Structure 1
Amino acid sequence: MHSDVTIIGGGPAGLATALSLEALGLSVTVLERAPLAQLAEPAFDGREIALTHHSVSVLQRCGAWARIPPVGISPLREARVETGRHNHPLTFDTHGKGVEALGYLVSNHLIRRALYEEALSRPGITISAGTGTRRVRDGQGAVSVLYDGGEIETRLAIAADGRFSDIRRLQGIGAIVHDFHRAMLVCRMAHDSPHHHVATQWFDDGQTVALLPVNGGASSLVLTLPPDRIEALRVMDRDCFNADIRARIGNRLGGIRLVSTRHVYPLRAVYAHRFVTHRFALIGDAAVGMHPITAHGFNLGLKGQEALAEEIGVGLARDGDPGSASVLKRFETRHRLATAPLFAATNGIATLYTRDEMPFRQMRRAGLRLADSLSPFKSAVTNMLMDKRKSA
């Protein structure tokens, strides 16, 4: 079997990459371990993705945005950051920016379904579900992807199988893994008071809490605690859970109650030592898995696949080879420049705002008050959060 490009992993990053490369006229095969039913109708997994304006334009250009139901797209009009109780908040909004929202919150499962439906409609994309990939083997002018039941000869193999990528490891690529020794519980909570499409994140003693506004009088709760305490909350009786959360958030938003399943994710950030080898590239969390504190993980994944597609387009125009060393080298340079500073800064922020020793509490309280008084700083951060640059 032959394919111009083979993508290992049919999650959002992998499917977005497939759409971008198919648009260049390439044949693309996507190998995904999960069964077809999970691709076609992914279940709610608790995660709400904060999409920048640039990410929305990428999804529009590839045809996926139109497949997301409008009721599932919630505008984010203001973001508030607080530390402790009754402290001066740092706020970001769209005043003077000429747009209605900083960005848009969309459930991860809706993005996954939209990308899958669009990929299924493309004649140049073949999706093989329920297929485990064993390894990638070098060849002359190509590589072979060995999977359960077969082998594909391809000019470029791409790993998009998550931050703990087996294929990355089998290719001999190591990674920096920053374990925050915390876990994150996410779920949807209905409440009596309106959220006015304002996201609030605060760093309390011993916990980090975020409430992300979604349509329908509800918010996505994101609670970060040590893993054992998170597990206790995951299995807690619903009424006890509601009472616990009300106490944790200080009765914000009035009466609040659980209206979804609860999901838990370990907090580990990952940064691959390399993004490419011979006719092989890493995309999405397999390349860079961010701490969610700055909400840039999925957006960086979309920008990474966009950069790869642009460099492949240049390579095709020059010599017709999507997996040449020069193409991959340019992609790696671009993606490292785009991600390394933000990865380091995000880890630093996460450390500062999750440590409870007195010096850290004092620094973050003073830092928020100072930052909120600096208009140029707030404007720069707001522009970064929005990322209004249009796709090519």
Structure 2
Amino acid sequence: MRSDVTIIGGGPAGLAMALSLDALGLSVTVLERAPHAALADPDFDGREIALTHHSVSALRASGAWARIPAIGVSPLREARVETGRRNHPLTFDTRGRGVDALGYLVSNHLIRRALYQEAVSRPGITLRAGVATRRVRTDRDRVTVLAEGGDIETRLAIAADGRFSDIRRLHGIGAVTHDFHRAMLVCRMAHESPHHHVALQWFDQGQTVALLPVNGSASSLVLTLPPDHIADLRAMERDAFNAEIMARIGNRLGAMRLVSTRHVYPLCAVYAHRFTASRFALIGDAAVGMHPITAHGFNLGLKGQEILTQEIAAGLARHGDPGAAASLRRFEMRHRMATAPLFAATNGIATLYTRDDPPFRHLRVAGLRVADSLAPFKAAVTSMLMDDKKTA
């Protein structure tokens, strides 16, 4: 089988990449381990994705945004960061910006389904599901992707198979791995008090809590604790779990009840040593797997595939080759510049705000109070959260 580009991994980053390349007129093959049924109707996995304005524009341009039901899109009107109880919060909002939301919360499974539906509607995209990729073999002017059900000759292979990417490892590319030795429990909770579409990130002693507002009287709970504590909460009987969560957040939203399944994810950040090799590139979490504290992981994944698409388009115009070495070098440079500072800053913030030693607690309280009084700082962070500029 032949294809201009082969993408290994049919998650959101891989499918968004396939749609972008299809728009360039390239033939694209996507290889994914999961079966078609799991891609066509993915289960709720607890994760709410905070989409920037730029990401919404990218999804709209791909055709996927129109496939997400309006009821599944929750505007984020304000974000609050707190540390401890009864401390001065750091707040971000859209005042004076002419828009009604910092961004939009959409469940991960809705994004996945929309991208899949759009991808299978495109005749230029071949999606082979239920297929394991064994390895990628590179020659001077082509790549052979060895996969179950038949190998593929292609001009560029792209790995989008997650932060613990087997293909990245098999291709000899290492990664910086930061294990935070914490686990994250995510679920949806209904509550009696309104959230007013305000998101809360709360760093309390011994725990980190995020409450993300979704449409209706409900919020997505993101609770970070040591793995053994998270395991206990996941197994807890429903009524006891409800009482435990209300106590942990100080009953700030009134009576709460669990209205979804509970899901657990380890907290581990990953940054690949290289994003490219000969006729090979990494995108999504395979390139940069972010700590979720800044909610920018999926947004960076979309930007990464957008940058790669731009450089492939330039390479086609110059050389007629989607895997041109010069194009991949420019992608590597641009994506590293876009991600390295944010990756380092995010890890630093995550470390500072999850340490409970007295010096760290006092520094957090003082830092939030000072930051909230600095208008230029708040404006810069708000612009980053919204990200309504095009990728240059």
Please show how residues 256-335 of structure 1 align to structure 2 within 5 Å: 256-335=256-335
TM-score normalised to structure 1 length = 0.99
How far has the Cα of 1:149 moved from its partner? Answer: 2.4
Provide the rounded CA distance (Å) in 1 between the counterparts of 2:375 and 2:330.
36
Counterpart in the other structure of 1:225: 225
Counterpart in the other structure of 1:253: 253
TM-score normalised to structure 2 length = 0.99
How far has the Cα of 1:139 moved from its partner? Answer: 2.0
Counterpart in the other structure of 2:68: 68
How far has the Cα of 1:136 moved from its partner? Answer: 0.1
Provide the rounded CA distance (Å) in 2 between the counterparts of 1:210 and 1:338.
26
Please show how residues 25-104 of structure 1 align to structure 2 within 5 Å: 25-104=25-104
How far has the Cα of 1:217 moved from its partner? Answer: 1.1
Provide the rounded CA distance (Å) in 2 between the counterparts of 1:319 and 1:342.
33
Provide the rounded CA distance (Å) in 1 between the counterparts of 2:219 and 2:93.
18
Matched letter for residue 231 of structure 2: E
Provide the rounded CA distance (Å) in 1 between the counterparts of 2:44 and 2:309.
29
How far has the Cα of 1:14 moved from its partner? Answer: 0.1
Q: Extract structure 1 runs of 4+ deviating beyond 2 A.
A: none
8 Å CA contact 2:50–2:103 kept in 1: the answer is yes
8 Å CA contact 1:58–1:391 kept in 2: the answer is no
Provide the rounded CA distance (Å) in 1 between the counterparts of 2:185 and 2:205.
17
**CA deviation map 1:336-384 (0-9, x unaligned):** 0000000000000000000000010010000000000111110110011
Counterpart in the other structure of 1:192: 192
Matched letter for residue 67 of structure 1: R
Please show how residues 122-133 of structure 1 align to structure 2 within 5 Å: 122-133=122-133
Matched, 1:179 2:179: yes
Provide the rounded CA distance (Å) in 1 between the counterparts of 2:300 and 2:97.
22
Provide the rounded CA distance (Å) in 1 between the counterparts of 2:302 and 2:217.
29
Provide the rounded CA distance (Å) in 2 between the counterparts of 1:378 and 1:140.
49
RMSD: 0.7
Counterpart in the other structure of 1:165: 165
Counterpart in the other structure of 1:9: 9
Provide the rounded CA distance (Å) in 2 between the counterparts of 1:283 and 1:70.
28
Provide the rounded CA distance (Å) in 1 between the counterparts of 2:387 and 2:369.
24
**CA deviation map 1:270-293 (0-9, x unaligned):** 000000001000000000000000
**CA deviation map 1:149-188 (0-9, x unaligned):** 2100000000000000000000000000000000000000
Specify every segment of 5 or more residues in structure 1 that has no aligned partner in the other structure, as ranges. none
**CA deviation map 1:79-135 (0-9, x unaligned):** 000000000000000000110000000000000000000001111000000000000
Provide the rounded CA distance (Å) in 1 between the counterparts of 2:391 and 2:327.
19
How far has the Cα of 1:140 moved from its partner? Answer: 3.5
Specify every segment of 5 or more residues in structure 2 that has no aligned partner in the other structure, as ranges. none
Counterpart in the other structure of 1:22: 22
Matched letter for residue 40 of structure 1: A
How far has the Cα of 1:391 moved from its partner? Answer: 6.0
Provide the rounded CA distance (Å) in 2 between the counterparts of 1:65 and 1:352.
36
8 Å CA contact 1:57–1:391 kept in 2: the answer is no
8 Å CA contact 1:57–1:390 kept in 2: the answer is no
8 Å CA contact 2:187–2:260 kept in 1: the answer is yes
Provide the rounded CA distance (Å) in 2 between the counterparts of 1:71 and 1:116.
19
Provide the rounded CA distance (Å) in 2 between the counterparts of 1:377 and 1:391.
22
8 Å CA contact 1:135–1:147 kept in 2: the answer is yes
Provide the rounded CA distance (Å) in 1 between the counterparts of 2:88 and 2:139.
60
Provide the rounded CA distance (Å) in 2 between the counterparts of 1:141 and 1:337.
28
Provide the rounded CA distance (Å) in 1 between the counterparts of 2:149 and 2:69.
37
How far has the Cα of 1:390 moved from its partner? Answer: 3.6
